[in-house]
A and B are shown apart, each in its own frame.
Chain A
Amino acid sequence: MEVTQALLNAQSIDGTVRKHAEESLRQFQEQNLPGFLVSLSGELASEDKPVDSRKLAGLILKNALDAKDENRKRELVQRWLSLDSAAKAQVKACLLQTLSSLVLEARSTATQVVAKIAGIELPQKQWPELIGSLLSNIHQVPAHVKQATLETLGYLCEEVSHEVVDQDQVNKILTAVVQGMNSSEKNNDVRLAATRALYNALGFAQANFSNDMEREYIMRVVCETTMSPEVKIRQTAFECLVSIAAMYYVKLAPYIQDIYNITAKAVRGDEESVALQAIEFWSTICDEETDILEEYVGDTTGDSDIPCFYFIKQALPALVPLLLETLLKQEEDQDLDEGAWNIAMAGGTCLGLVARTTGDDIVPLVMPFIEENITKQDWRQREAATYAFGSILEGPSPDKLVPLVNHALPFMLSALVKDPSNHVKDTTAWTLGRMFEFLHSSIVGTPIINEGNAQQIITVLLQSMKDVPNVAEKACGALYFLAQGYEDVGLTSPITPFFQEIVQSLLTVTHREDATESRLRTAAYETLNEVVRCSTDETAPLVLQLVAVIMMELHKCLEAQNLSSDEREKQSELTGLLCGCLQVIIQKLGSSEPTKYVFLQYADQIMGLFIRVFACRNATAHEEAMLAIGALAYAIGPDFAKYLPEFYQFLEADLQNFEDYQVCAVTVGVVGDICRALEDKILPYCDGIMTQLLKNLSSDNLHRSVKPPLFSCIGDIALAIGDNFNKYLTYAMNTLQIAAEMYAHTSGFDLEMTEYINNLRNGILEAYSGIFQGFKNSSKTQFLIPYASHILHFLDSIYMEKDMDDVVMKTAIGVLGDLADTLGSNAASLIQQSLSSRDFLNECLTSDDHMIKESAKWAKLAISRAISV
């Protein structure tokens, strides 16, 4: 076929032509994949072909190697690896050749494709000559070849893990890259490509950062590069500094003074894109130091692996004024723009992080700025002063802050109502929210909200909730934290006298015409939820009244007909909010017997509404309705059975919702709730549920995070229906056994994967636990005997791996007990032979974790009985 023409036609504006071309390309690919890829790479490499066909050829090549979806990606990797090696060699040769192309688009597409192939082949120890041949390019004279090569190295570092590149090659890559950044390199494209490559290669430079001379060299070049005349290069150089701050914090001490000078200059005078990165450097240092200091507090021995250099504390006298200056550079309507991010916002955020890192020390440095600006004519000054105050409310001690807040509170309340600037009011409301979030609590020392000012504060906030949407949203947020502070207040809450009025005002907000702007409606419902959560018995009758109100809202919302797609989306969002609110109310009222009893009168109607929610096809709405139903089942108990005939179809449908895997995950949890509520009354539905659970477990298309709860859910079912589980036993045990074998070992996996495997193990073990406990004292226990040896073997192998977390340990030792308990003398000799019944059990018995200890004591008891009989 004529590939060039097909590639050009595939970009035609004429839909018919385009479709036809796409179809013929697809056929080509299906009929002869190697040929297809070879001709695409030929197209890309060929200097006399049109740019557009070359670019698309490269793009299709790239998409043939990688995909966002993990499963698809795995398929593509396998497909490439099993391809004819001659074809692969040809494709790779064309790609490397394209790196020298004079056409920028062709070159840069090729760099990405080379990196994708490297990402597949290097971990397999294939294409060993790649890095060598790229490095030899560096010494070529034409700048464009150098640029493309550096770009390729950069992408390559992004694609492959640093373990697969040996140190010698890493050294050579870094040498080439840093040389390319050097000011002696006069070509800006080369410098930019080199700087970007360094950004990706930093993760490879562990050893080099430990070598004083090499680190000195890298740092000097990076710092010099921040002063390049080219803005993009400066920005990228600062990105490198940010990344270095996160990765090599402990190595920074000798450079911190220089970096301060560089960043200060950039913040004060450079383009915004550069200044933002300069601020981000300090924010990152704050992140690092907060993490380290948190470790200190958590660690009882007082020493930690990573020392804290207190860079922020030392830089404080210079850093704080620098950040305060940025606060005055606000954009007019930044509060109305969701995507806004500017120097004032970055500076303010950094100031907040600095306060968290240093605590009290920041207060005297910021107070004069606040005092000087808070009453100025220019709104920018008032806003900056207010923002500065809000920023430092987390970190310094209450002792230091409470007097200041008490002093400022009347002023802030007045500004919230009277200041002419929306921007100032927005920030004022946010600052009030921060005061309540960090300093108002029924348990901490002197209260900032007391009998004397509570009335005024609430009145002002309720009034402010009638202001423009962005201000009203912040007022709702402030009220949220005001309510939260009275969590655990005891029997009587200071909010009680205002409860009715607050709820009424929040409902009024949700009905505002402009409630969908600035997230206002969401904020109002979130605040309503928090007010309900933190309410006391005194207001239980009012919460009960709220049930009917929210039900009516949900009913009205579901009634709406003939909506535009935009309206439909808003309707779905509202449905989710209302279901969320009902969930909170169900939990609140269900937690005490008298209110639960009254509330349950509404159960039929509420369930009817939830069922109608499933008619709308919105993931969030489904998820919220499911969560609420789980809470309802827990509150109702066995009587929930009456809803299952109608509800079951939706339960099953959402168990199959792989695309919105969160919905699937939540539904699996709800199956567990229903099992515990219904016990053996769930039996008639178990065929369907078990089929679906097992199907989900064997599917590659379901998001992996759902798998551990799926296993646990099998245990929930077994525990609920007892030995009726016998009919599923073969299938379930088979699935569990395969999974157990697969996840017995974690060697070769990274930390994240090991954590995930531990979650899976816990699920598998919970399933075993439920099955054994379910069969206990039944006449069918003998059916479990054949599985005992495998399960004990699984316990032994995960014990020997020594990579269990505490949760798995607890569940695992519990399974040992359950097995002994249910099988008794039938398993006595198997148990005695197992390592778990000796070393593992002893280790658990002496564990510091009381949950593990408890399970172990249980296991010991069960085993001693099994053996003694």
Chain B
Amino acid sequence: MAPHDLRRPFKRPLISDQERRRQHSLLRQAQNRLDAQRHARFLVSTAFSLSSSQTLESHEKEELDVLEASKLKGAEARKWFAKQLMHPEWMIDIPQNLTNDWFVFARPSGKRCFVVSSNGTTISRLRNGSILHRFPSKLPNGARTKEVSSGSSNSYSILDCIFHEQDQTYYVIDMVCWRGYSLYDCTSEFRFFWVNSKLVETGACDPPSYYHKYRFGLVPVYSCDQSGLCSAYSVPVSYVKDGLLFYNKHAHYQAGITPLALVWKDENCSQYVMDTDNKGQVPNQQQVVLELQEDGKLATCDDPPMEFGCLDGSFIQQSDLHSGYLLRFAIGEGGLVLVDGKLGKADLKYLGKANRARASADSFSKVMFQYSVRHSPLIIDDLLGSVSSPADQESETCDVEMDG
């Protein structure tokens, strides 16, 4: 009978570093194999994406990616998250039916980030995907507590937040996933309702404690009628405001820039209306950053890109520029000329290459908003005017009927 060896590891870790290296390699290999497989499969799905179910599939794809991404680590995760936030266009004209179809709220000033809680920890990631904080929180599965959470232990939640330095609070401006349930394909009306009903019950809005390092805050969201817009604009809140955000009530959460969310600012509700240069000064002339295309054209970051002009080949060669470079220009006396709402001509003066930290060119709406701020800004009264008279809107429809 084999003697019973009762020695246990003494003053030693259970897993050797070598074993860790081995496991790490196996994990990496499995992940790479999965990626290769996915890649192979995806090549085909684009080939037959012209089929009728195209839009449906692409939506599903996105949802799956969120589920996937909660398991990503390191650089992979960074890359993925950098592309997932929904970014508003700048408001250059007032959308129709603002009163009925839109929400408005004051945007908290601070760092925009995705906050993911899963597996007993909470991680916030900035727009470029890098980690801002890793901390315990009362979000579902957000801390390693012994309490048995409702929800399965590997479910996760993803919030779209702004981290407000002054009171060290994450203000929740949108909710993408809750306890493993994807809200991507839900309207913003539903998402906001969900934020308001779910967040408080977790205790995430409580003051910080040992297992809850940062407080989460709700942002008052108003229907964009006269009183809602006034409140968002002028009622004091616990955070410093940085402009107003407008969300279309029927829009789903969509990664990237979307015209169904809009940002608007004036001096009264934001410290950062006009772009500053790297010294914090507002330059005399408006500056824009554009991407150099292969054919010498200068484009915005929109999809599809908007063209702002063209550099000639000799200049490109002379200045040792290559396609893909981000270049900084000033807008000269000639300004921007619009023809039928589209850009006709832009008077651009080359300043140099953009700061290396820049990830992408400016968007069309941003350039236009900045331009209008300098020339004929859209002011709060314009906005109030557009929502002021429900009678006007009714009269519009009435007009047609009275024709008989």
Contacts and interface: CB of A to CB of B under 8 A. Distances in A.
A330 interface: no
Nearest to B123: A488
B198 interface: no
Interface residues of A, number: 85
Contacts of A723: none
Contacts of B358: none
Contacts of B17: 525-526, 529-530, 580
A153 B283 CA distance: 94
A858 B45 contact: yes
B152 A300 contact: yes
Nearest to B210: A445
Query: What is the interface of chain B mostly: helix, strand, loop, or mixed?
Result: mixed
Interface stretch (B133-141, B159-167, B199-207): B133-141
Contacts of A313: none
A234 to B, nearest CB: 14
B153 interface: yes
A483 to B, nearest CB: 12
A58 B384 CA distance: 103
Contact of A634 (B4, B32, B41): B32
Contacts of A199: 1, 4
Interface stretch (B21-29, B259-267, B312-320): B21-29
Interface in A583-610: 583-584, 587, 591-592
Interface string A657-694: 00000000010010011001000000000000000000
B29 A630 contact: yes
B345 interface: no
B32 A443 contact: no
Contacts of A777: 44
Interface stretch (B6-14, B102-110, B246-254, B336-344): B6-14
B213 interface: yes
A624 B17 CA distance: 12
A490 B25 contact: no
B75 A592 contact: yes
B6 A865 contact: no
B36 A865 contact: no
A640 interface: no
Contacts of A719: 36-37, 40
Contacts, number: 154
B41 A858 contact: yes
A669 B26 contact: yes
A197 to B, nearest CB: 8
A346 B8 CA distance: 8
A773 B134 contact: no
B60 interface: yes
Given A490-B131, A624-B18, A672 B29 contact: yes
A383 interface: no
Contact of B6 (A242, A587, A673): A242
A793 interface: no
Interface string B142-167: 00001011111100000000000000
Contacts of A746: none
Interface in B177-218: 210-211, 213
A627 B21 contact: yes
Contacts of A242: 4, 6
A405 to B, nearest CB: 14
B6 A280 contact: yes
Contact of A158 (B2, B11, B16): B2
B48 A865 contact: yes
Given A631-B25, A712-B33, A719-B40, A277 B6 contact: yes
Interface in B36-83: 36-37, 40-41, 43-45, 48, 51, 53, 57, 60, 64, 67-68, 74-75
Contacts of A634: 28, 32
Considering residues B8, B123, B130, which has the most beta carbons from chain A within 10 angstroms of its beta carbon?
A: B8
A160 to B, nearest CB: 14
Contacts of B132: 490
B7 A341 contact: yes
A155 B64 contact: no
A404 to B, nearest CB: 15
A302 B60 contact: no
Contacts of B152: 300
Contacts of A821: 41, 44
A429 to B, nearest CB: 9
Interface of A: 154-155, 158, 196, 199-200, 239, 242-243, 276-277, 280, 283, 296-300, 302, 341, 345-346, 348-349, 398-399, 426-427, 430, 442-446, 474, 477, 488, 490-491, 525-526, 529-530, 576, 580, 583-584, 587, 591-592, 620, 623-624, 627, 630-631, 634, 666, 669, 672-673, 676, 712, 715-716, 719, 766, 769-770, 773-774, 776-777, 814, 817-818, 821, 850, 853-854, 857-858, 861-862, 865
